[in-house]
Amino acid sequence: MEISGIESGIGLSKAFPVADKDNSSTVSGAGKFFSELVSKVNDMQVKSDKSIQGLASGENKNLHEVMIEVEKASISFQFMTQVRNKALDAYQEIMRMQV
């Protein structure tokens, strides 16, 4: 008697994609969204740090541009934190549901 996996018979593999063993870095859905969000926020933080270093070293003389970069980075980090909090709240609410 042969027992096959549940994804092979009823089409669950399309609903719940699994990363290939050869390409384990493949991320889909919410994971891809969060990884892109984190990388964009990180890019803004790096840009902000470079502008601060430029101001401190005398390369950049525009304080207002540096402050705008710092505020952009701060707001993007706050946004990412709130998105994470809402996703965790939704997950916890789903876990509390009775089936």
Q: How far is CA 45 from CA 21, 37, 40, 68, 95, in A?
A: 33, 12, 9, 12, 34
Query: Looking at the predicted structure, is the pLDDT value of residue 12 above 50?
Result: no
pLDDT recorded at residue 7: 52
Q: How far is CA 83 from CA 32, 71, 94, in A?
A: 14, 18, 17
pLDDT range class, residue 61, cuts 50, 70, 90: confident
Q: What is the pLDDT of residues 18-55, one digit of tens each?
A: 555 455 555 678 889 889 999 999 999 999 999 999 99
> d(Cα 30, Cα 1) in Å, to the nearest integer?
38
